[in-house]
Chain A
Amino acid sequence: MSAHAHSEDDHSADGHDFAHPMSVQTLLAVFFALTFLTVITVAQASFDFGAFEVATVMFIATVKAVLVMAFFMHMLADKPFNAIIFIGSFVFVGLFVMFTLGDSMMTSHSFEPRVEELAPAVAEPTITTVDGAP
């Protein structure tokens, strides 16, 4: 690192430019790809994929997330260490969600508010009908 690398007048001449400006074409291409994927996500909601629906939606969202991370967040041009840290966080998110979900499957009913604690059910006209309460 030369001490003069950053003097105001010879930026372009020195060899220590660490800025990697992304080309406008790349930015626009990524933007249109993201918009296109959004349209697909909205469109697929009108079809019934049954059990695959959540998987489809999450897959498209993840493709979008990868596009944003790779290009808008400059992860491709960035130091690999930063990418490892960031993507590593998703490993822990996965562990967290999987273990908590697995645990809740075994104890799920304790998450539910008990029926006698329910507020008067305004959206449930039959209850008032049968038990004769006002």
Chain B
Amino acid sequence: MSTIEASPEVGHDEHGHDHDHPPFLAHHFDTPEQQFDSGKLGIWLFLVTEVLFFSGMFCAYAIFRALRPEVFEGCSQFLNTKLGAINTGVLLFSSLTMAWAVRCSQLEQHKGLVGTLAATLSCAMIFLGVKAIEYSHKFGMGLLPAGLFFYDPSNPHPTEHPPYLAYICAPFALALAGVLIWLVVSAVSGNKFQFAIAKPLSVVCLCFFVGVGLGTVLESGEESADHIDVHADPNGLATAPVMEQAEKTMAAEAAPAIAASGAMVAVDETVLKILAKDPANVGVVSSQNALEQQTAAAGTSTVTGDGEILGAITTTEVDVMTPTTAGVFFSIYYCMTGIHAIHILAGIGVLVWLLVRAVRQDFNRQYFGPVDYVGLYWHLVDLIWIYLFPLLYLIR
């Protein structure tokens, strides 16, 4: 309402201000409906750019999955389906509360709006808490993007690693402490408006740690289930622990062969053949192929020196969980889920802004645009997760 000075119809505008332009209607719009429709077109265009932005990552996913389906299959076993499913449910519920918030703002149910927005924020925080457990668990195991990947099947849980979970939780703990202090200060000073904002926000911040707790419980449950799997099903249906076990056995069996001659290599080969009978052991099959090719190379040529054999091996394609191939999967995983998580954080930011305005009772049936627009953004973030979850977690 501050730009009327420039208008030639200053007098008219100022006169009609109280009737024509309610405080929520921007000067350049004739009616609230026009304002709403313009904003809505804008947010839809923004969502289109978001879809195209994410499509780049989905495209990278499609290319590498088409190129290396077995790497995606193998690496997907390291993603905890239970945590992914819980997060999907949490995000779907937050979508429900967000859609409900739009309804509340349209019906001018101010208390309901604050409640549903706070519920949406809480779900977002639970989602991030569960994600923090997933990420820190994988960081600790060395399941990192290509280049940083150092996962070792013979030592999947190295004990000495930085406290990743503490690093991730620290900003949220600070936020919780800050909001709690604000809550106490506003309660003591009797500032009802600030108290009404700080109250739901402290619940929201607490919810991050609810998510962390939930994630911890489910992650530990999954671990013990994995170990039971190994004992109950020694043949293995492509479960990662079985692969680990097979490779451990191989390492143990192969150790003496380092010092020995071709005879030992032959023994090693029979062991490999037995292991390779299980189609799940992609790694073993490929290392067997590598061995055969290497033997063939050494057999046909008269050269028996180590240098030649080494050359033969390095030119052989190795279809296994090498840091590079597995790292590519985790690069894509961290990129897609990480950028999705950044979108959740951005969503939390705008939802907090909405919460403040909802406490101020800014919205009414002529002016609910901001709630609707944030809702559309939030549903898009949910939509992306709807595709991410099966594509990353549910590969069999």
Contact = CB atoms under 8 A, between A and B. Distances in A.
B67 A104 contact: yes
A7 B63 CA distance: 56
A104 B66 CA distance: 9
Interface in A55-73: 57-58, 60-61, 64-65, 68-69, 71-73
Contacts of B394: 41-42, 45, 57
A72 B291 contact: no
A131 B315 contact: no
Interface in A95-133: 96-97, 100-101, 104-105, 108, 111-113, 115-119, 121-133
B51 A93 contact: yes
A124 B66 contact: no
Interface stretch (B128-136, B187-195, B363-371): B363-371
A82 B33 CA distance: 15
A132 B260 CA distance: 10
Chain B interface mostly: helix
Interface residues of B, number: 100
A11 B364 contact: yes
Given A6-B32, A7-B19, A27 B103 contact: yes
Interface residues of A, number: 80
Nearest to B43: A82
Given A93-B51, A93-B52, A124-B320, A65 B387 contact: yes
B72 to A, nearest CB: 10
B58 A97 contact: yes
Given A3-B19, A126-B291, A119 B379 contact: no
Contacts of A79: 37, 40
Interface string B168-195: 0000000000000000000000000000
Interface string B250-261: 110011011000
A116 to B, nearest CB: 6
Contact of A85 (B30, B48, B59, B63): B48
Nearest to A60: B390
Contact of A121 (B20, B309, B317, B322): B322
Contacts of A27: 96, 99-100, 103
B98 interface: yes
B306 interface: yes
B151 A123 contact: yes
B106 A123 contact: no
Given A11-B364, A48-B396, A121-B320, 9 more contacts: A18-B36, A19-B365, A21-B106, A68-B382, A85-B41, A101-B66, A116-B314, A123-B322, A127-B290
21 contacts: A4-B19, A8-B364, A11-B366, A18-B37, A19-B366, A21-B103, A21-B107, A42-B394, A60-B390, A65-B387, A71-B99, A79-B40, A88-B48, A89-B51, A116-B314, A117-B324, A124-B320, A124-B322, A125-B251, A130-B294, A132-B306
Interface of A: 1, 3-8, 11, 16-22, 24, 27-28, 30-31, 34-35, 38, 41-42, 45-46, 48, 53, 57-58, 60-61, 64-65, 68-69, 71-74, 78-79, 81-82, 85-86, 88-90, 92-93, 96-97, 100-101, 104-105, 108, 111-113, 115-119, 121-133
